[in-house]
Amino acid sequence: MQDHGINLENADCMTWLTSQKEESFQLIILDPPYNVGYKYNQYQDTKPQHQYLIEQFLVLSHCQRLLKPGGSVFYLNYPETAARIWAEVDFLDRFEWINWTPHAHVRGTPLRKASRAWLWFSKGKPLINQEAFQTEYRNPTDHRIKKRIEAGLKPASYDWIDLEPVKNTSKQKRKHPCQVPEEMVERFILGTSNPGDLVGDCFLGSGTTAICAVRHGRSFAGCEIDPLYVQVAETAIQAEINAKNLAQSLNEHDVKK
C-alpha cells in the first residue's frame, strides 16, 4: 500500500503523532472515541472525563504542529464535548462549527442524542474548494428552484450535514461499530485539499478516511490502536486500490481502441 502513498500503522495516536513530520499534512480528519462507554473490540471508552479532555487537547496540539499553513483539521464529537474543545483550542484558528444530525438514536434520556459536531479548525486561512461543499437542492421540483437549476446555479453551502449514519445494511458497512459515511469525509477531502496532498487520521477505525483519500488521489498517513480494525481497514483500502487500478486500465484500454 505504501506504493500507493498509503501509510497505516497499528499504533497509539500519541506515539504516531509524535513521529510525524512538522507541516507535512494538508488535512487531518479526527473521529475519536467519545468517552461514552461505547463498545469497541478492544478500546475501553470509559476514561475519567478530565483525562479524556487533556488527551483530546494534546492530539489537537500535535495536529497544529503537523499541519501545513492553509491546512485544516475536522474534529468530530458530541456537541457538549465539542463546545469545551472549541472554547479552549486557541492554538488553531476556529474556522467553522458544522452540525451533523445523523438520525441515529443511540442512547440518551429524556432526549436521545442524535446530533454531533464537526469542528473545522485551520492553520491560517484554509485552502477551500467551494464546489465540494455545495450539495443538491432539497426541493428540486419547486418552480423557483427549477429555474435556478436550469440556469446552472448551485445551492448555497450550509453549516449542517444531513447524512444518514452507516447502517448495518449499507454497502459501505465494515466490521466496526461506528463508521462515518464516506460522502461526508469525501466532502472534507475534496473541499480542503488538492490531489497529491497528504491527509491524516490517527483514529482510523475501519479505514474511511484512507479509502476516501485513495479514491480522490490524495496520499494518506494514519494509525489505529486495535489490530483487528487495522486489518479491516487494510482489506478495505486494498479493495479501493484494486477498483481504482481496474478502472484505470479499462480506461486506457478504451483509449487505445
Provide the minimum distance between the beta carbon of 119 and ligand SAM in the complex, in angstroms, as a whole number: 15
188 lies in the site for ligand SAM, by CB under 6 A: no
Piece of 1-9, 117-125, 152-160, 201-209 that binds ligand SAM (CB under 6 A): 201-209
* Cell numbers that stand for 205 in this block: 477505525
CA-to-CA dists, residue 10 to 34, 58, 70, 204, 223, angstroms: 20, 20, 29, 10, 6
Number of residues near ligand SAM (by CB under 6 A): 21
Of the candidates 85, 15, 74, the residue with the CA atom closest to the CA atom of residue 209: 74
52 lies in the site for ligand SAM, by CB under 6 A: no
Rounded CA-CA distance 203/205 in Å is 6
The label of the residue with cell 453551502 reads 157
- Choice from 36, 226, 234, 238 touching ligand SAM (CB under 6 A): 226
26 lies in the site for ligand SAM, by CB under 6 A: no
Piece of 90-98, 122-130, 223-231, 248-256 that binds ligand SAM (CB under 6 A): 223-231
56 lies in the site for ligand SAM, by CB under 6 A: no
Neighbouring C-beta atoms of residue 105, cutoff 10 Å: 10
Which regions of 153-251 does DSSP assign to beta strands (E)? 160-161, 198-201, 219-224
- Choice from 62, 116, 123, 176 touching ligand SAM (CB under 6 A): 176
- Residues 68/24, Cβ–Cβ less than 8 Å: yes
Residues that bind ligand SAM (CB under 6 A): 12-13, 31-33, 40, 43, 176, 178-180, 202-203, 205-206, 208, 223-226, 229
